[in-house]
Structure formats: structure tokens, C-alpha cells
Structure 1
């Protein structure tokens, strides 16, 4: 698949217009039209801006062939479950470190990281409330619940199924997460 076609496909999947993409990237609408139609080949800086706006790794646009897509899928299938499993320790830092380390290489990792971090923060808050209330049975219950949900969602992510973390409070929203260095 050509780069322009891939950009158009990714943009449509996100449900954004060419005008929205232009506003997010500071690239003219006409330039985006010309890229998507294949009239021009975008420069590296332009591709970086578009990749950041579409929330995909820059390499996805560079390797817009079937070989490049296979590389990205392999990276995703390896690192997304690791990101989810890193929450088993009930610590906030392992998921953050995995996300920061792989954010430019694994498409969609930001969305997964936000979900994992929201779940971790929620479980930490519940854990703290139950410690203050001195309720050992509830402490054990919330600990077991979090471990089971993390393992189940890791398995779902590995097999490409949708996942959900119940009881998560939305501390972080997708828009609030720090953008890639390309922006």
C-alpha cells in the first residue's frame, strides 16, 4: 500500500476529516489532499507530524508495505501484553516505563497505557481506602480482582480481542497524555 493511501485509511479509521488532520499537523489541507491522492511524496518531517496526529508510529508510515505492517504487528503482539502484565506489581512505574520506551515503535500503545494506568491508579485508590478502613477481606478481594483482570486482559490483548478494566476511574484521558516528541 502506498503511503498516501495508508494515511487516508488511518485518517478515516480515526473518523477525522482532512481539515481536522491539517489543523492537528499545521499542514495545509491541499498538501494533505495531494499526499493522499499520491501526487506528492511527503517529507520526513511531514510524515512525523501526520503520524503523531494519527497516533501511529512514524515507522508505520515509512514502512507502508506489507513487510512494514508485519513488523509493526509483531511489535504490537509482543509489547502490548507486556504493558498490561507490567501492572501485576500494582506499581505505576512499570507501565509508564514500557509506554515511554516503546511509544514510537508500537502503534496504539498510548491508548493501552492510559487504560492500564487508569486501572492501576483506581486499584491503588481502592487499596488505600480499604487500608484506612482496616478491612483485610476487602484488601485481599481488591488485590485478587486486580491480578485476575490484568491477566485476563493481557490474554485478550495477545489474541487481539477487545479488553476492559472494570471499576476504573478516568484519571487520565487519551487527550491528556503527553504527545509524541514529533509534535
Structure 2
């Protein structure tokens, strides 16, 4: 499978993904989202937010010949490496395939915190190629560092801290 990344107007990611999916059935466009848990009025609520503002990921079984830029508004460019290669490679490819495996929707993970060690026991972070850099049990957040587009990015995701007794229920 080939994966690509396009740069677009921030806020129009979902619309652009929809337009690409309608225009070419051989391409699957995903505007990756994360589901965050937030406390409002004393209750935990789930809220969806774009994971990579300004970017849409494309997936295809064959090499894509790009003619989309002129046809789709607010699509700025198809990202490519200095060598001119457009297909994502290395860590970029691994990150994009992690998003693909989770259908572009990164939900809350369950983590077990033992002193300074954090162990993911269920959810999207279980097969993640990033590094957990911070855990906030009170706000149910985990900060994960990813390598994407040649840059280190820290992304805040939802995580539910569980006790060791709850692990048997998950497994």
C-alpha cells in the first residue's frame, strides 16, 4: 500500500478528504481525528478534534498520478521529499499506517501507571511508534512524541489510567 500526505487549508481537512473520496474511488483520503475526553460541568464528555491540522493522508494500492490540486479547492500541495519522491517513507510511512489501521480515528487508550513507568494495555497507543513523554491522570491525557514530515511533534491524546486489577477485564 502507498501512502501520501497533502497540505491543505486548516479547517477544511474533512471536506477535502470527502471530495477526494468521491472523485477517485481508488484513493482513500483520511483527515485523521483524535477523540479527547474533557470534563465539563463535572461530567466526562468526548470531543473529536483534527489530529494533524492542515494535512490529509491518502492511501492507494497503486502509485497515484496527481491531478487533484487543480480540481479541489483549498488543496495547496502534495508533500514530497527533497529527492522528489511523493510516497511516504520510513517513520512517516509507519505513522501514516498507524493512523490507517485505526481508520483515522484515534480514541482513548487504557494505560497502567506503575511509578515512573507507563504501560499501554489497550487502545490505539498499544501499537504506536511514538514515545509517551507525559501522563496526566487527572485530565486523562497522554502526550506522545511522533516523528512526522521530518519533525518531532508532540500530540495530546486521551488515555484512561486503570488499576492493575482492571487489566484482567481488558484482556
TM-score, normalising length: structure 1: 0.21
Greater fraction helix: 1
Larger radius of gyration: 1
Greater fraction strand: 2
